[in-house]
Amino acid sequence: MGTLQNPDFVTPDWPLWPLLSVLALVFLGVDILCSLGRQGFLPLFRVAMVIGGVSFAGNAAFSASSDTVPTGALDIHLAYVVTGDAPTDEATRQGLEGLTHFVNHRSTAHLGAPIGVTPGHDDLAFYPLIYWPILPNAQPSPAQNAALNDYIHHGGLLLLDEMGAGSILDNSNGDATRRAIKRVTEELDIPPLTTIDDTHTLSHAFYLLHDYPGRVSGQPVYVARFGDENGENVSPVIIGNGDWAHAWAIDQQGHPPFAVVPDGDSQRTLAYRFGFNAVIYALTGNYKNDQRHYPEMLHRLKNTQDDTQQPTGEEGP
């Protein structure tokens, strides 16, 4: 894929649709009141008073909403768990910024800038995917566990990344991080896991993938194991050790600041494609699996149409 050049999108400071919606409602109300006044149902001075009241209320409501609307509620954003480790948090932000850029330029989706969140403090309901870099000192609180359980119970996708612990790019053997991932997950309502394979929706949500590398390759990726492959089950969690954030990362000039090993740019391309599939999976679930049922659905539809078009044997007059 090479390097990503300067992003050519600019996220507006404030979307225009809330203001336009309020104005449309105000004008609709004014038009209705004026029509009633012309037909004699309302005295004109009452019409004027109501119009003034509606305008004032609309302005007040919009002003209040600008202060109370939670961050992330008016656009789609990817989120990441703030760890408190500045280099990790910055690399994660850059990684989701790069993935956001990739998704925006290869689909009709438009994602806003990634947002750092603290489970138990911030409302997680607005984010389809939350990326959690797991560090050796990770120790979630009961409030954080409760917030994350609520998040995954309501359809959120949690991506836990051990950040290449114990790999060629890590100076440790990874044991501390493995103990941390155990602490992190033991209080979460995560179903039994299995390694991802070619049949899973994540492997073909958009790109057809057989490998799922990040900054490092050859690491297994785990998703929920469900007994019914034809069901509507969607894994609430992805767990891996690929260090995807560093592979996705872009700096202010749009260039990748971190090397990926061992396959360089081709590996980075696969990492972006896996991230793209993960975003699509978080937004749409198992929709892709429905495609394998299309031939049977079309066959049944054709048979139904043929049955309704067969002659009844009765002749007309």
The enclosing H or E element of 65 equals: helix 44-68
Rounded Cα distance between 201 and 210, Å, is 12
Q: What is the pLDDT of residue 220?
A: 95
Q: What is the pLDDT of residue 302?
A: 63
Rounded Cα distance between 26 and 254, Å, is 43
DSSP class of residue 159 equals E
Q: Domain limits of the chain? A: 17-68, 76-292
Q: What is the pLDDT of residue 74?
A: 79
* Of 142, 103, 117, 113, the residue nearest 278 (C-alpha): 103
Bond preceding residue 262 cis, omega within 30 of 0: yes
Q: Are strands 157-161 and 129-133 parallel, antiparallel or unpaired?
A: parallel
- Per-residue confidence of the chain (317 residues) as pLDDT tens digits? 444 444 444 444 556 666 777 778 777 776 776 676 666 655 544 545 555 554 555 555 445 444 566 767 778 999 999 999 999 999 999 999 999 999 999 998 899 999 999 999 999 999 999 999 999 999 999 999 999 999 999 999 999 999 999 999 898 899 999 999 999 999 999 999 999 999 899 999 999 999 999 999 999 999 999 865 544 688 999 999 999 999 999 999 999 999 999 999 999 999 999 999 999 999 998 775 554 444 554 565 666 555 555 554 444 43
The enclosing H or E element of 222 equals: strand 221-224
φ/ψ region of 308 (left if φ > 0, alpha if ψ in -120 to 50, else beta) reads alpha
Torsion angle in degrees (nearest 10) through CA of 308, 311, 312, 313? -170
The enclosing H or E element of 131 equals: strand 129-133
pTM exceeds 0.85: no
CATH architecture type of domain 76-292:
3-Layer(aba) Sandwich (3.40)
Q: What is the pLDDT of residue 304?
A: 57
Length in residues, the chain: 317
